[in-house]
Amino acid sequence: MANQSGAEAAYAIELKGISKAFGPVQANKDINIAVPKGTIHGIIGENGAGKSTLMSILYGFYKADAGQIFVNGQLTPIPDSQSAIRAGIGMVFQHFKLVQNFTVLENIILGAEEGQMLNTSLTKARKELERLARDYDLEVDPDALIEDLSVGHQQRVEILKALYRQADILILDEPTGVLTPDEADHLFRILKGLKEQGKTVILITHKLREIMEATDNVSVMRRGTMVATVKTAETSPEQLAELMVGRKVLLEVDKGTARPGEVVLKVEDLRVRDEHKVERLKGISFEIRAGEILGIAGVAGNGQSELLAALGGMQAATGTATLKGAPLPLSGAGSDGQSRRRSGIAHVPEDRHHHGLILDFTAWENVAFGYFNDPRYQKNALFMDNDAIRADTERKMAKFDVRPPIPTLAAKSFSGGNQQKIVVAREMEQNPALLLIGQPTRGVDIGAIEFIHKQIIALRDAGAAILLVSVELDEIMSLSDRIAVMFDGRIMGFRDPEKTDERELGLLMAGVTGKGEAA
Amino acid sequence: MDRLPRWADVALVPFVSLTLAALISALVIIAIGQDPWEAIKVMVQGSVMNAYGWGYTLYYATSFMFTGLAVTVAFHAGLFNIGGEGQAQLGGLGVALVCLFLPWPHWTLALLGASLGAALFGAAWAAIPAYLQAKRGSHIVITTIMFNYIAASLMIFMLVDVLRPPGKMDPATANFPPETHLPSFNEIPGLNLVFTSGVPANVTFFIALAMAVVVWLLLWRTRLGYQIRAFGKSEPAARYAGINPTRIIMITMLISGGLAGLMAINNVMGEAERLLGNSASGAGFIGIAVALMGRNHPVGVVLAALLFGFLFQGGAELGLWTKIPIELRTVVQGLVILFTGALDMMVRMLLTRIFALFRTRKLEAA
């Protein structure tokens, strides 16, 4: 939209007194925020703090119960996303909205076609795309199919889509959740480029590091209110964390030394092939002792998921494995999830939405998920004892501080952190001999991260063997008693977290072995 | 998106959908030069205003309950079983074989035997598509609909070449022996005070109601039902939990096919008392609409089955007493299915908007 009185308006976006309630839940309470033009503005807050609701109001998905939106100094009602686009606002969602079997170019013009014939639009878009790629360092092959692109490139297409619609204000919702550290760095370079060209960027995240790295100003939200807006240069991660959570937060994990006991899990020459017969695990051997955390470091997609799947009974594998000396079948009979649970293996899967939970199920149904055969949950031979499950759920919710502590609420109604607490509570409370835990704090807010880390340490001290997989190097470094680095389906080496650093691990993660170790 | 209050979701949405379907039906009747008011009067009069009408409405509803429950059970496992028609026909074959070739001393025992036969044959007909889905990944929608055609051909073969008594011309079995006769409502003490003339509704109605309770218990109170629902919501999650997909697909489809097959005790054993061609006469397909409209919940299925029973009986009355052709029944059913099934989301969105509007008004006023 052309801006007539542009010279005087210092703010690209100004929200005044925005409130929004969903039933009894006040998602946004009298929010005021002003985003200066040509800056990168971070919005940070725990899951469920109301960041996404606020941005959905700005993008016309929700109608605010009260409040006003000013774009470039002018009062602009935004009843739907078309109005948002006309006002020059573009949004890049956490989950991309791209047609997988369309080319980049086709996706870009989708919904912005001009005339009856596609050719005119396509030719125009191709030229525009070349210009954008030049100006903003946003190289993407316009004729590539989306399904062939990496996640990082798909995100660029989303940004290009917004820019093609002449967005001056770009909102990115948790953009780095799906990116590798390298891709994330590149994204931040792109955002800085956009800023230099006079665009305004709003970055929603719960990662303190990104805020510190990329933004000029940062607004902190807590429980639906805006608690502070500060200049990034004048704050610290500790201060932001405290503002977000409302109390002092320990960013470092406090743990005593491990006292490893007998060997619990011993794996030799573990191999996994995917459905295309490609070998994803290429002969892995390791052991974990009781009271020990083995951390698996590595860039996502180097076989960690397959390792968890094979041990958790979700995927057939070859090789040998023993649990406390007893053979653990890796394929065929006795290798399913139920057998694993019976033998004392609990599994917090990497992806709680696709594996760990049934989102449409209630919390109590999810607490029985995987443990529906548990004798404590049966009334008699025929029926389950739903009351017993609900009571057990209440107990677990209290112990793990799940909010709200309502067993009959659907899992999808909980925030990410609380969903994860439900999964973690379910698995840890089985007192497993071996806990497999993947990305324990992905998409989880700081308060919950601290809590989950404490629980993992407590389980270790109680004598469980723990296999921890995480793409967050900080998490691996602070929790593990030993670290194994995976690259391309192999373990590149084992390290003592006390005697290594991020640089050395980073090299191993990239497949570089310094000391001539066998790969 | 704002959400609808529960009462609106459960009651108002179907009500608005039905009203819309009724309005369009009225337009169609006007278009063919008839009086829609007259049509409604005839339909209501002939189906629910007297015991005789109820005797038919409940008879049809009984069949639809079975097929609706069959679709419901499969739906909760994420399987769309549209082979109820074929499974019900095979169920009829099972009933016929049990009634014709086994000696029965009393109808209660015959009912037990015939129920087993019906469920077994219906389940067997669902087993092959289930196996193909579980092991080969052949889509259950395609295979079950193909099996409807195979069932139709198989039944013609059975009736014409195998089961037809010598000397008879019509493709049907011999009449079942009198010991297998199921009491109709007019023969049940107590009920016969209301149903004074002969009606097709019979004891099977109570079996259908019992089955609705059984299905509810199965889905929401047993481990198997828990696994079925979990599998239906998310197959990857089910795999994580150690739920065996092959086992769940097979068991669910056997139960679903068995329920569809059970329908045959109502129409083949309870009403016709012999097996005729095209015995299911579309009830298998109506079961899909019943399940859709009943929101895949046994209580909803029972209510939706009653509604479709009313439409079926009322539609037949139209053909009898007015110049409106009986085919209009199909039009009305089609519209009901269209609005309650396919256009459900449209009504829902519309109502959601209206509710949201009221809500903001209230807030502004406060």
Residue A99 belongs to some domain of the structure: yes
Q: d(Cα B173, Cα B96) in Å, to the nearest integer?
A: 8
| CB contacts, 8 Å: A360 with chain B | 233
Do both B313 and B346 map to the same domain?
no
**How confident is the model over B262-277, as a mean pLDDT?**
95
Q: How many whole angstroms separate alpha carbon B186 and alpha carbon B196?
A: 6
What was the pLDDT predicted at A419?
92
Planar angle of CA A4, A9, A12, nearest 5 degrees: 100
Do A372 and B227 lie within an 8 Å CB cutoff?
yes
Give whole-number Cα distances, A29 to A18, A46, A48, A49, A221, in Å: 7, 16, 13, 11, 10
Scan residues 354-413 of A and list those with Cβ closer than 8 Å to B. Answer: 354-361, 365, 368-370, 372-373, 378, 382-384, 386
Residues A237 and A329 in one domain: no
The answer for A 59-98 residues in CB contact with B (under 8 A) is 63, 65-66
Residue B1 clears pLDDT 70, i.e. is over it: no
Q: What is the pLDDT of residues B51-66, one digit of tens each?
A: 999 999 999 999 999 9
Question: Does B139 fall in a domain?
Answer: yes
Same domain, A108 and A222: yes
Does B274 lie in the same domain as B221? Answer: yes
> Cα dihedral sign for A496, A500, A505, A508?
negative
- Cβ contacts below 8 Å, chain A against chain B, sum to 68
Task: Give the Cα separation of B201 and B184 in Å (integer).
Answer: 6
Say how far apart CA A235 and CA A295 lie, in whole Å.
32
Contact between chains at A356 and B360 (C-beta distance less than 8 A): no
Instruction: Measure B357 CA to nearest chain A CA, in Å.
Output: 11
Which of A340, A354, A386 has the CB atom closest to B242's CB atom? A340
Cα A432-A433-A438 angle, rounded to 5 deg:
65
**Beta bridge partners of residue A348, listed in sequence order:** A437
Helix B298-321 / helix B283-293 crossing angle, nearest 10 deg:
130
- B240/A314 Cβ within 8 A: yes
* Domain that residue B268 falls in: 58-322
Residue whose tokens read 């090299």? A507
- B40 falls within a domain: no
Select from A216, A245, A274 the last residue of a domain.
Answer: A245
Contact A370 B229 (CB under 8 A): no
**What is the average per-residue pLDDT within B221-239?**
96
Does residue B41 lie in a domain region? no
Residue A326 lies in a domain: yes
Mean pLDDT (chain B) is 92
One domain for residues A286 and A395: yes
Contact yes or no for B57/B51 (Cβ under 8 A): no
Nearest CA in chain B to A365: B226
Residue by residue, DSSP assigns A303-349 as SHHHHHHHHTTSS--EEEEEETTEE---SSTT-SHHHHHHTTEEEE-
Per the model's pLDDT, the better-predicted residue between A190 and B211 turns out to be: B211
Distance from CA of B43 to the nearest CA of A (A): 41
Overall average pLDDT of the B69-76 stretch: 98
**Token pair 């016969």 is at which residue?**
B192
State the DSSP code for A317: -
- What are the chain A neighbours of B222 within 8 Å (beta carbons)? 382-384
Task: With respect to residue A254, please indicate whether it lies within any of the assigned structural domains.
Answer: no
Find the distance separating the first CA and the last CA of chain B, reported in whole Å.
23
- A253 within a domain of the structure (yes/no): no
Query: Is A236 in the same domain as A300?
Result: no
- Number of domains chain A contains: 2
The DSSP letter of residue A356 is: I
- Going by the DSSP 8-state scheme, the letter that residue B182 receives in this structure is P
CA distance A276 to chain B (A): 16
B131 and B238 both lie in a single domain? yes
Same domain, A240 and A289: no
Using an 8 Å CB-CB cutoff, list chain B residues near A337.
239-243
User: Can you tell me the ipTM of this complex?
Assistant: 0.87
Q: Is A4 a domain residue?
A: no
- Token match 């899992």: residue? A411
**Cα A37 to Cα B109: distance, rounded to the nearest angstrom:** 84
* A221 and A274 within one domain: no
Last residue of a domain, one of A245, A277, A293: A245
Of A360, A369, A378, the CB nearest to B241: A369
- Same domain as A126, residue A100: yes
Of A226, A293, A311, nearest to A453 (Cα)?
A293
The predicted-structure confidence for B314-355, as pLDDT tens digits, reads as follows 988 888 888 888 888 888 888 988 888 778 788 888 888 888
**What is the pLDDT tens value at each position of chain A, 519 positions in all?**
444 444 456 899 999 999 998 776 788 999 999 999 999 999 998 777 888 889 989 999 888 999 999 999 999 999 988 899 999 999 998 778 899 899 999 998 888 777 777 788 888 889 988 888 888 878 888 899 998 887 778 888 998 998 888 899 999 988 876 676 677 888 898 899 899 989 999 999 877 888 888 999 999 998 889 999 999 999 988 888 888 877 776 667 778 888 999 999 999 999 999 888 889 999 999 999 999 999 999 877 789 999 999 999 999 999 999 999 999 999 998 999 999 999 999 999 998 989 999 999 999 999 999 999 999 999 999 999 999 999 999 999 999 999 889 999 999 988 888 999 999 999 999 999 999 999 998 877 777 888 999 999 999 999 999 999 998 888 899 999 999 999 889 999 999 999 998 778 878 887 777 554 443
Name residue A320's beta-bridge partners: A268
Same domain for B216 and B159, yes or no, is: yes
Residue A110 lies inside a defined structural domain of this protein: yes
Co-location of A213 and A288 in the same domain: no
* Residue of B330 and B161 predicted with greater confidence: B161
Q: Chain B: nearest CA to A138, how far in angstroms?
A: 33
* A462 lies in the same domain as A323: yes
Q: Are both B13 and B107 inside the same structural domain? A: no
B183 within some domain: yes
- What's the CATH number where A276 sits? 3.40.50.300
| Nearest Cα residue in chain B from A314 | B240
Q: Which residues contact A55 (CB under 8 A, 6 or more apart)?
A: A43, A91, A171, A173, A202, A204
CA max distance for chain B: 83
Contact call for B223 and A384, based on CB within 8 A: yes
Q: A336 at the B interface (CB within 8 A)?
A: yes
Do B11 and B83 belong to one domain?
Answer: no
Whether residues B125 and B12 share a domain: the answer is no
Residues of B in contact with A18 (CB under 8 A): none
- Alpha-carbon distance of B8 to A144, in angstroms, equals 47
**pLDDT tens-digit map of B165-210:** 998 889 999 999 999 999 999 999 999 999 988 999 999 999 999 9
Q: What is the pLDDT of residue A519?
A: 39
Distance from CA of A329 to the nearest CA of B (A): 14
**CATH number for position B101:** 1.10.3470
Q: Supply B33's token pair.
A: 């030069």
Locate the DSSP E strands across B99-236.
Answer: none
Q: Which of A218, A245, A272 marks a domain boundary?
A: A245
Residues B278 and B248 in one domain: yes
* Same domain as B126, residue B29: no
Angle between helix B107-131 and helix B245-264 axes, rounded to 10 deg: 140
Nearest-angstrom CA–CA distance, B97 and B110: 12
Report the C-alpha gap between B22 and B8 in whole angstroms: 19
Which are the contacts of A40, defined by CB distance < 8 A and separation ≥ 6? A191, A192, A195, A200, A201, A203, A214, A215, A216
Q: Hey, what are B335's tokens?
A: 């519209």
- Domain ranges, residue A453: 263-509
Nearest-CB residue to B244 (from A312, A336, A382)? A336
Who among A313, A356, A384 is closest to B221 (CB)?
A384
Question: Residues A434, A361: one domain?
Answer: yes
Is the same domain home to B334 and B306? no
- In a mutational test of the A interface, the residue from B223, B224, B247, B362 whose CB has the highest number of chain A CBs within 10 Å is B223
Q: Report chain A residues whose CB lies below 8 A from the CB of B242.
A: 313, 336-341, 370
Q: What is the pLDDT of residue A178?
A: 66
Nearest-angstrom CA–CA distance, B181 and B172: 17
Question: In this predicted structure, what is the pLDDT of residue A5?
Answer: 44
3-class secondary-structure state, position A25: strand
Residues A277 and A231 in one domain: no
Chain A residue at shortest CA distance from B232: A358
Domain count, chain B: 2
Using a CB-CB cut-off of 8 Å, the residues of chain A touching B221 are 383-384, 386
Same domain (yes/no): A158, A292: no
Mark yes or no for CB contact A369/B237 under 8 Å: yes
Let me know if residue B45 belongs to a domain. Answer: no
Report if residue A519 sits inside a domain. Answer: no
**Whole-number pLDDT of residue A300:** 77
What pLDDT score does A517 carry?
Answer: 46
* Distance in angstroms between the alpha carbons of the first and the last residue of chain A: 57
With 70 as the cut, is the pLDDT of residue B366 above it? no
- Cβ-defined contact of A372 to B234 (cutoff 8 Å): no
Q: Which chain B residue lies closest to A383 (C-alpha atoms)? A: B222
Strands A66-71 and A40-45: unpaired
Same domain? For B159 and B264 the reply is: yes
Round to whole Å and give the CA distance between A260 and A480. Answer: 12
Residues B297 and B178 in one domain: yes
Q: Indicate the Cα dihedral angle B18, B21, B26, B31, nearest 10°.
A: 180
Does A255 fall in a domain? no
